[in-house]
């Protein structure tokens, strides 16, 4: 299934970059595609002309396929962005944060492969029925805006694999070869990563952001937004604590939205300002300890995944042989 998935997207490795909203950029997107994966430009709340600039720059940096992620109910420009990806002949589009069904037929009509980001079996089934080519099943470990269903990757992937026939990509908590191997064991055809790509040499984010990810312990991410049913996983920091305190005293949806705009995320991620900004971060941060090139990261992941699968096979053979005797 992994080979089918890679052939479908015309990539060498079954690794996709997660959409990063308004901090998306051409250097990292192109680096992921050049390394054999599928780079992704996340539109966030950016205007279509801003997204177009990133697309044009990415095309200058790589001739390989890359994707564009459109957060349907987050972006105020969804209709215009759909027109843009068709005009720019983007080969792959991922749809998140909304119902993809009305959009999929138009994209498919223009020979665009569609990935639907889902957080439950029912969402995956609906996406498949609507014509999605694959689903990205994102567990609650993932960075940024998350599903309030709070299903973890370990439980989510096998249930979705069982209920759909299209490829399933695992997302949330994956950042190394062991995670890739685990995703395969759960039935996934590939993985999507966001946080792990932050701590790479090509990623043009503030050094404080990279160091926060590299230095994070297993408990240094937290969820904000539960009180207003808008969950988001972020790295701990002064501004995040301010939001959390406001939630305890009763924050309105409007105030929460004002405090968690893409502008505040940009302040944290690009300016390194944790007093008035925040940084998205997944639980996988606790596993990240270095800052390789994107190419070295992906090659090591593939090598380590193969070694891990072989190691497990060897561990299973001995007990089975003993039982048969």
Sequence-distant (6+) residues with CB within 8 A of 201 are 291, 292, 293, 294
Taking the model in full, what pTM does it have? 0.93
pLDDT score at 314: 83
Checking if the pLDDT of 30 tops 60, the result is yes
The secondary structure of residue 63, as a DSSP letter, is S
Q: Is there a contact between 278 and 239 (Cβ–Cβ < 8 Å)?
A: yes
Task: Give the pLDDT score at 40.
Answer: 98
Q: Rounded to the nearest 5 degrees, what angle is found at the Cα of 288, between the Cα atoms of 140 and 212?
A: 85
Strands 144-145 and 232-235: antiparallel
Q: Say yes or no to pLDDT of 21 above 90.
A: yes
* Mean pLDDT, range 14-43, rounded to an integer: 97
- Per-residue pLDDT tens digits for 235-279: 999 999 999 999 999 999 999 999 999 999 999 999 999 999 999
Neighbours of 129 (CB within 10 A): 11
The CATH code belonging to domain 2-204 is: 3.20.20.70
| Contact in structure between 235 and 213 (CB atoms under 8 Å) | yes
Residue whose C-alpha is closest to residue 64's, from 18, 94, 33, 89? 33
pLDDT of 321 > 70? The answer is: no
CB atoms within 10 A of CB 282: 33
- The pLDDT value given to residue 315: 82
Residue 3 — very low, low, confident or very high, per pLDDT cuts 50/70/90? Answer: confident
Report whether pLDDT(26) > 90: yes
Q: What are the extents of the domains in the chain?
A: 2-204, 207-284
182-235 per-position pLDDT tens digit: 999 999 999 999 999 999 999 999 999 999 999 999 999 999 999 999 999 999
The answer to whether 93 and 107 are in contact (CB under 8 A) is yes
The SS3 assignment for 80 reads helix
Taking the C-alpha atoms of residue 157 and residue 168, their distance in angstroms, rounded to an integer, is 8
**87 CB-near residues (< 8 Å, 6+ apart):** none
Summarised one tens digit per residue, pLDDT across range 117-174 is 999 999 999 999 999 999 999 999 999 988 888 999 999 999 999 999 999 999 999 9
Residue 318 pLDDT:
61
């Amino acid at each position: 299934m992994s080979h089918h998935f890679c052939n479908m997207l015309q990539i060498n490795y079954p690794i996709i970059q997660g959409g990063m909203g308004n901090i998306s950029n051409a250097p990292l997107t192109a680096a992921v595609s050049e390394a054999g994966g599928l780079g992704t430009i996340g539109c966030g709340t950016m205007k279509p002309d801003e997204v177009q600039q990133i697309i044009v720059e990415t095309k200058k940096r790589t001739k390989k396929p890359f994707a564009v992620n459109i957060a349907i109910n987050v972006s105020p420009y969804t209709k215009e962005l759909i027109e843009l990806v068709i005009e720019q002949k983007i080969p792959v589009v991922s749809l998140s944060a909304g119902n993809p069904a009305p959009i999929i037929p138009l994209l498919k009509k223009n020979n665009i492969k569609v990935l639907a980001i889902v957080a439950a079996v029912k969402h995956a089934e609906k996406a498949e029925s609507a014509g999605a080519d694959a689903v990205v099943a994102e567990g609650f470990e993932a960075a940024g805006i998350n599903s309030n269903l709070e299903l973890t990757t370990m439980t989510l992937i096998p249930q979705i694999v069982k209920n759909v026939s299209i490829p399933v990509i695992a997302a949330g908590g994956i950042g190394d070869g062991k995670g890739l191997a685990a995703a395969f064991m759960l039935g996934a055809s590939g993985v999507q990563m966001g946080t792990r790509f932050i701590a790479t040499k090509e990623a043009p984010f503030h050094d404080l952001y990279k160091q926060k990810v590299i230095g994070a312990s297993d408990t240094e991410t937290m969820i904000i937004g539960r009180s207003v049913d808008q969950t988001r996983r972020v790295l701990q920091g002064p501004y995040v604590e301010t939001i959390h305190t406001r939630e305890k005293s009763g924050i309105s949806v409007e105030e929460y939205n004002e405090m968690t705009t893409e502008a505040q995320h940009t302040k944290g991620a690009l300016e390194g300002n944790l007093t008035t900004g925040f940084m998205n971060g997944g639980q996988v941060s606790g596993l990240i300890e270095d800052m390789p090139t994107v190419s070295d990261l992906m090659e090591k992941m593939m090598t380590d995944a193969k070694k891990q699968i072989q190691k497990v096979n060897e561990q299973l053979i001995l007990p089975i042989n003993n039982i048969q005797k």
